[in-house]
Amino acid sequence: MPSDSLHARSFLGRLFQGYSQDELLKRLEPDLEQPAQHVPGGAHITPEIVERRWRRIAATPAVREILLNSVDAGQMECYSRNIENFIGVARLPLGLAGPLRVNGLFARGDYYLPLATSEAALVASYHRGACLLSQTGGCSAMLLAEGVSRSPGFAFDTARQAGLFAAWVVEHLEDIRKAAQATTRHGTLEDLRITIEGNHIYLLLEFRTGDASGQNMATIATEAACALIMEQAPVKPDYFFVEANMSGDKKASAQSFLTVRGKKVTAEAIIPAELVEQVLHTTPGRMCDYWRMSAMGGVLSGTIGVQGHYANGLAALYIACGQDAACIAESAVGVTRFEVRSDGALYASVTLPNLMVGTVGGGTALPTQKACLELMGLYGEGNARALAEVCAGMALAGELSIIGALAAGEFTRAHRKLARGRGDAAGGEQ
């Protein structure tokens, strides 16, 4: 195996090929020439403003027609609360997987899953897993907890001051709760945790946000809580930030399995051995062999949680249904577990502690995103918990399918077949 020094030497050889050191350094120097004009900014969308933006771009009429066709131009104002500097619409293919039968506390029935992706084999994999689960009578899914957090941070001169401040916060929790909840009709401040690190204080405010994903709701409520604290606390911080990076927002973190961010959901199914062999072309025993090896691989590589590819299905569903796609960073944390039962059947479960999903607000009311939620019967108030349980069931379907393909030795062949030999020119895999 090459050492790091050999890797470095090889890289530098490629880097300097065709250039002198002075030429390379010159390429990295600041360029003080006047930059191109910036596009007219803002969230307000009118045909005139969009036209001015397009005039700043060196783009052909064909490119413009692709990004802003007549249909999109006619409904551009509906995007004004979801985008800034609007110039058009990016499109992804939309595939349908399922049906996925979910027997949940909130989701009950057969769901067709709209998945927006450019990755060949993804929809086929989730479709196979969803149909397998439906053949067994569906998966059981349970919402275990819910909450959206913000973690403001406060800085003091000494740890003693920080401790006095923390004591005041504990005594005035109800006042803080009232200030936060005054900003929203749907959110409630459920809990507040305090962490002291030297002369810094981190508050972890946990909100219930109804059927909205709730990040903006939690941010606005936290800002109001901080304003009350800054006004009334007898020990004044030197400064504070409304988010001090302890909430786990848009990142995988070690606290994922200790708290909840969004909705914590588990889903499970028991699949007879003959159905595993018929649909997945392998055995429960071999799937458990793979799961054990992959679990250790996850430990050795330091992953947070152990799972195959939650991010694939979740990202595709999030984009299709108007969720915050960046929340895949925390939503795709979780644990998959397989066991062989005494009768030879396969027990499979997934637990996802950070599903950030909503059925109102955000991008859920955009035309195609609303249509995708309506396709599942999950648009609007009263449906966010059911959507979370469907997401867990979809993650279970994806795990069964991908691990089945790996256990059966079909993983590479499936990707080669479904990418249709298109190679790099079409973004396929060979």
Q: Identify the domain boundary among 69, 89, 109.
A: 89
Tell me what the mean pLDDT of segment 231-260 comes to: 91
Look at residue 412 in the predicted model and tell me its pLDDT.
Answer: 77
Which of 71-80, 208-217, 319-328: highest mean pLDDT? Answer: 319-328
User: CB neighbours of 385 closer than 8 A, spacing ≥ 6?
Assistant: 105, 106, 107, 143, 146, 263
Residue type, 140: S
- Let me know whether 228 and 328 are in one domain: no
**Chain mean position to CA 265:** 15
Look at residue 1 in the predicted model and tell me its pLDDT.
Answer: 42
Tens digits of residue pLDDT in 59-70: 899 999 999 999
Tens digits of residue pLDDT in 178-226: 999 999 888 899 999 999 999 999 999 999 998 988 888 999 999 999 9
Number of domains in the chain: 3
Helices and strands per DSSP (H, E), number in the chain: 16, 11
Tens digits of residue pLDDT in 255-310: 888 888 899 999 999 999 999 999 999 999 999 999 999 999 999 999 999 999 99
DSSP codes, 302-348: T-SEE-S-HHHHHHHHHHHTT--GGGHHHHT-EEEEEEE-TTSPEEE
Do residues 235 and 164 touch, judged by C-beta distance below 8 A?
A: yes
Look at residue 254 in the predicted model and tell me its pLDDT.
Answer: 84
Do residues 384 and 358 touch, judged by C-beta distance below 8 A?
A: yes
Do the domain assignments include residue 316?
A: yes
Segment (H or E) for 373: helix 367-375
Look at residue 420 in the predicted model and tell me its pLDDT.
Answer: 59
Nearest CA-CA partner of 285 in 357, 240, 334, 341: 341
Do the domain assignments include residue 14?
A: no
Do residues 156 and 235 touch, judged by C-beta distance below 8 A?
A: yes
- Let me know whether 285 and 367 are in one domain: yes
Q: State the virtual CA torsion across 112, 273, 338, 332 in degrees, nearest 10.
A: -20
Look at residue 21 in the predicted model and tell me its pLDDT.
Answer: 80
Q: State the virtual CA torsion across 61, 48, 321, 324 in degrees, nearest 10.
A: 110
CATH number at residue 292: 3.90.770.10
- Let me know whether 130 and 60 are in one domain: no
User: CB neighbours of 2 closer than 8 A, spacing ≥ 6?
Assistant: 10
Q: Which two tokens stand for residue 236?
A: 């004044």
Q: Which two tokens stand for residue 122?
A: 């993804």
- Let me know whether 185 and 84 are in one domain: no
Active site residues: 119, 324, 415
Task: Please state, rounded to an integer, the average pLDDT across all residues of the chain.
Answer: 92
Q: Percentage of the chain with pLDDT > 90?
A: 76
Q: Which two tokens stand for residue 40?
A: 């007219």
Confidence of residue 414 (pLDDT cuts 50, 70, 90): confident
- Let me know whether 317 and 417 are in one domain: yes
Do the domain assignments include residue 175?
A: yes
Domain that holds residue 217: 152-241
Look at residue 425 in the predicted model and tell me its pLDDT.
Answer: 39
- Let me know whether 413 and 350 are in one domain: yes
- Let me know whether 416 and 388 are in one domain: yes
Look at residue 255 in the predicted model and tell me its pLDDT.
Answer: 84
Has this prediction a pTM greater than 0.85? yes
Q: Identify the domain boundary among 89, 105, 120.
A: 89
Q: Is 300 exposed, middle or buried (0-12, 13-18, 19+ CB in 10 A)?
A: exposed
Do the domain assignments include residue 51?
A: yes
> Exposed e or buried b for every residue in 234-269, given b needs 16+ CB within 10 A?
ebebeebeebbebbbbbebbebbbebbbbbbbbbbb
Beta strand pairing call for 262-271 and 239-241? unpaired
CATH number at residue 219: 3.30.70.420
Summarize the chain as % helix, strand, coil (round to 5). Answer: 45, 20, 35
* Cα–Cα distance for residue pair 172/191, rounded to 1 Å: 13
Using omega within 30 degrees of 0 as the cis cutoff, is the peptide bond preceding 99 cis?
yes
Do the domain assignments include residue 315?
A: yes
Look at residue 26 in the predicted model and tell me its pLDDT.
Answer: 86
- Let me know whether 268 and 383 are in one domain: yes
Q: Which two tokens stand for residue 83?
A: 């985008």
- Looking at residue 421, the DSSP 8-state letter turns out to be T
- Let me know whether 182 and 318 are in one domain: no
Tell me what the mean pLDDT of segment 315-336 comes to: 96
Tell me what the mean pLDDT of segment 382-403 comes to: 98
- Let me know whether 355 and 277 are in one domain: yes
Tens digits of residue pLDDT in 96-136: 999 999 999 999 999 999 999 999 999 999 999 999 999 99
Look at residue 410 in the predicted model and tell me its pLDDT.
Answer: 84
Q: State the virtual CA torsion across 325, 329, 332, 334 in degrees, nearest 10.
A: -150
Look at residue 424 in the predicted model and tell me its pLDDT.
Answer: 42
* Cα–Cα distance for residue pair 370/360, rounded to 1 Å: 9
Neighbouring-strand partners of residue 337: 349
Q: Identify the domain boundary among 175, 206, 241.
A: 241
Confidence check: pLDDT of 427 > 80: no
* Cα–Cα distance for residue pair 194/238, rounded to 1 Å: 18
Residue type, 199: N
| More confident position, 416 or 128 | 128
Do the domain assignments include residue 135?
A: yes
- Let me know whether 110 and 69 are in one domain: no
Do the domain assignments include residue 356?
A: yes
Confidence check: pLDDT of 28 > 80: yes
Do the domain assignments include residue 278?
A: yes
- Let me know whether 354 and 298 are in one domain: yes
Do residues 291 and 403 touch, judged by C-beta distance below 8 A?
A: yes
Confidence of residue 417 (pLDDT cuts 50, 70, 90): confident
Q: Which two tokens stand for residue 157?
A: 């001169």
Tell me what the mean pLDDT of segment 14-25 comes to: 80
Confidence check: pLDDT of 426 > 60: no
Tell me what the mean pLDDT of segment 142-151 comes to: 94
